[in-house]
Amino acid sequence: MRLRNIPGAREVIGASEYVIPEESGCAGKWKEIFGNDQPIHMEIGTGKGRFLMELAGLHPEINYVGIEKYSSVLLRAIQKMEEEPLSNVRFIRMEAEHILRYFEKEEVERIYLNFSDPWPKERHAKRRLVSREFLDRYRILLEKGGDLEFKTDNRDLFDFGVEQTAVAHWEITAITYDLHQDEKMNEGNIMTEYEERFSAKGNPICKYIISPQYKNVKQN
Ligand code: SAM
């Protein structure tokens, strides 16, 4: 994604009631933050937050956390929230590799990864959000029975993700290589900004749903 630095974005984000400050130490405090004990679903790499906010509007019984590393992108999500506030949505501006600072063990029910950056160079494989390194982090913060949903049009990244699920001892519970033609998996699908853009070009969208396996897996 090409990014323009937007002057003042950091300040707007810092002042927003919808953004959890980086230094807040919010791990274990999410019930307090939302004022209820609803399940938490998060999107990592939420971009302008459209997917997350649409879901949140449909599911007031779930709390949603959007994670995005760039202020200039997150700013758009905050502006939308100011226009149409949702009490069950919060954002964190952060690099996802620090995710375990913000959530305690088993505090999250579902993780969404949508059109994650591909990091095509082999030496950057650990930065891919579907890598074993990230799956090991997600395993800690997901509650038992929790899952992860990943969508992309990038076949190389998807194949890598599929391979990493086995390496990291996760189980694939559903998979498609053409989501929009898969009646069952496409039911209730909410299109992300990137999904709209790439499917309009004719790119098939791949999706998997995976869960950690626990039997005979050494936990950290
Ligand atoms: N999910 C949105 C969609 O599908 O329309 C945006 C997809 S965009 C290609 C990927 C987004 O993930 C970008 O906004 C990028 O800044 C963010 N991102 C990528 N790697 C990240 C990381 N390690 N931590 C936090 N955000 C990340």
Say what the pTM is: 0.95
pLDDT at 21 over 90: no
Residue whose Cα lies nearest atom 18 of ligand 1: it is: 45
Mean pLDDT in residue range 133-139? 98
Return d(Cα 93, Cα 67) in angstroms, integer. Answer: 6
pLDDT at 6 over 60: yes
**Ligand 1: residues within 6 Å at CB?**
1, 45-47, 67-70, 73, 95-96, 114-115, 117, 192-195
Distance 218 CA to ligand 1 centre (A): 30
pLDDT at 3 over 70: no
Distance 184 CA to ligand 1 centre (A): 26
pLDDT confidence band for 219 (50 / 70 / 90): low
Catalytic site includes residue 117? yes
Burial class (CB in 10 A: 0-12, 13-18, 19+), 194: buried
Mean pLDDT score of the chain: 94
Instruction: Give me the pLDDT at residue 180, please.
Output: 98
Q: Each residue of 50-81: pLDDT tens digit?
A: 999 999 999 999 999 999 999 999 999 999 99
pLDDT confidence band for 1 (50 / 70 / 90): very low
The token pair that represents 55 in the structure block: 């879901």
Burial class (CB in 10 A: 0-12, 13-18, 19+), 19: buried
